[in-house]
């Protein structure tokens, strides 16, 4: 072996070690949560309300709360995000207005989650008088999810070949008909993949819901969109920092439930992506 080969061998080994330095902690974290949490996950834990100041019982209200928030986020952010991507890809000209929108998407994606929390509080809780409610929380999480949904939808729309549009337009269809019947149907799987991914992020977020929706301890289900709810990530924060003497296995089980829920949503997203690649026509 000559010098260059030996150097290559050493360099690649170092890169491999660096990668290993990332892989090992990831695996450790997952194994640690699963091993410590799996034992405490029982049917009762998943379907009962917390009791004795959260030191016993289950986390059912928090699971329901998180699911409601995800649904609320989707109802708000999906149509808005898709339509704004449609605008950017199908309608917009390359002018100042369009550049402003693109720049805003970039900046929205970089705003810290806690700043969304502040904004949601002043805008929805105070100014619009929604109170700390599912509605206020969903809208806050929705705005936060917009950049990912827009970016994913944009890519999905851009990947539809231009010939589809040209054929439709040449047959006398209007621009909206073209978008509605010849572009959107083919972009939907890509849009869904990005949406589910962004919703899984929203499900795990704590900072934006701190002052907009999350209830410290509310062992019942919400009655409407203007009710507070417990949510899994906030519940985990509360029981690991705010309440003393919580049995550790309850914290682990809550963490595992949250990770499991997020992971499940990611699997859905991966499945959609694979399915989409297989059925792709171009």
| Closer Cβ to another protein, 134 or 254, answer by number | 254
Considering the rule CB under 8 A, would residue 217 count as an interface residue with another protein?
A: no
Considering the rule CB under 8 A, would residue 131 count as an interface residue with another protein?
A: no
Closest listed residue to residue 232, CA positions, set 212, 260, 211: 260
Q: Rounded distance, CA 280 to CA 152, Å?
A: 17
Closest listed residue to residue 99, CA positions, set 91, 110, 88: 88
Interface with another protein in residues 42-101 (CB under 8 A):
79-80, 83-84, 86-88, 91-92, 97, 100-101
Interface with another protein in residues 184-203 (CB under 8 A):
200-201, 203
Structure tokens at 28: 């450790």
| Closer Cβ to another protein, 19 or 163, answer by number | 19
Considering only 31, 46, 71, 126, the residue that binds another protein (CB under 8 A) is 126
In whole angstroms, how close is the CB of 109 to another protein at the nearest point?
Answer: 7
Considering the rule CB under 8 A, would residue 271 count as an interface residue with another protein?
A: no
* Beta-strand relationship, 56-57 and 50-51: antiparallel
Considering only 74, 183, 199, 259, the residue that binds another protein (CB under 8 A) is 259
Considering the rule CB under 8 A, would residue 108 count as an interface residue with another protein?
A: yes
**What ranges in the chain are assigned the alpha helix state H?**
3-38, 43-47, 60-86, 96-110, 113-120, 134-158, 162-170, 175-177, 184-204, 232-237, 248-279
Q: Rounded distance, CA 124 to CA 132, Å?
A: 8
Considering the rule CB under 8 A, would residue 1 count as an interface residue with another protein?
A: no
Asked if residue 134 lies in contact with residue 229, where contact means CB atoms within 8 angstroms, the answer is yes
Asked if residue 98 lies in contact with residue 184, where contact means CB atoms within 8 angstroms, the answer is no
What are the residues whose beta carbons fall under 8 Å from the beta carbon of 176, sequence distance 6 or more? none
Contact letters (x/-) for another protein, 233-252, by CB under 8 A?
A: xx-xx--xx------x--x-
Considering the rule CB under 8 A, would residue 278 count as an interface residue with another protein?
A: no
Considering the rule CB under 8 A, would residue 123 count as an interface residue with another protein?
A: yes
In whole angstroms, how close is the CB of 171 to another protein at the nearest point?
Answer: 15
* DSSP-derived secondary structure letter, 243: S
| Closer Cβ to another protein, 71 or 128, answer by number | 128
Considering the rule CB under 8 A, would residue 274 count as an interface residue with another protein?
A: no
In whole angstroms, how close is the CB of 230 to another protein at the nearest point?
Answer: 14
Considering the rule CB under 8 A, would residue 218 count as an interface residue with another protein?
A: no
| Residues paired with residue 57 on neighbouring β-strands, in sequence order | 50
């Amino acid at each position: 072996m000559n010098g260059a080969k030996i150097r290559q061998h050493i360099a690649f080994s170092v890169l491999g070690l660096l990668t290993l330095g990332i892989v090992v902690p990831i695996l450790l974290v997952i194994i640690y949560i699963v091993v410590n949490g799996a034992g405490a996950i029982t049917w009762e834990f998943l379907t009962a309300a917390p009791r004795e100041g959260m030191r016993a019982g289950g986390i059912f209200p928090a699971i329901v709360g998180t699911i409601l928030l995800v649904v609320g986020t989707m109802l708000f952010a999906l149509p808005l995000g898709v339509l704004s991507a449609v605008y950017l890809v199908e309608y917009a000209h390359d002018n100042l207005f369009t550049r402003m929108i693109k720049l805003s998407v970039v900046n929205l994606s970089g705003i810290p989650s806690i700043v969304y929390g502040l904004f949601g509080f002043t805008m929805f809780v105070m100014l619009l008088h929604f109170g700390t409610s599912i509605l206020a929380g969903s809208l806050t999480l929705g705005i936060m999810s917009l950049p990912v949904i827009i970016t994913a939808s944009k890519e999905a729309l851009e990947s539809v070949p231009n010939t589809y549009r040209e054929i439709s337009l040449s047959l006398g269809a209007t621009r909206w008909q073209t978008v509605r019947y010849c572009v959107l149907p083919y972009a939907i799987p890509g849009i869904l993949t990005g949406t589910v991914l962004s919703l899984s992020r929203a499900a795990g977020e704590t900072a934006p819901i701190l002052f907009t929706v999350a209830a410290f301890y509310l062992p019942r289900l919400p009655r409407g969109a203007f009710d507070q709810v417990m949510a899994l990530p906030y519940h985990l924060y509360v029981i690991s920092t705010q309440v003393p003497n919580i049995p550790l296995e309850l914290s682990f089980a809550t963490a595992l439930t949250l990770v499991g829920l997020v992971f499940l949503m990611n699997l859905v997203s991966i499945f959609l992506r694979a399915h989409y690649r297989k059925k792709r026509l171009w």
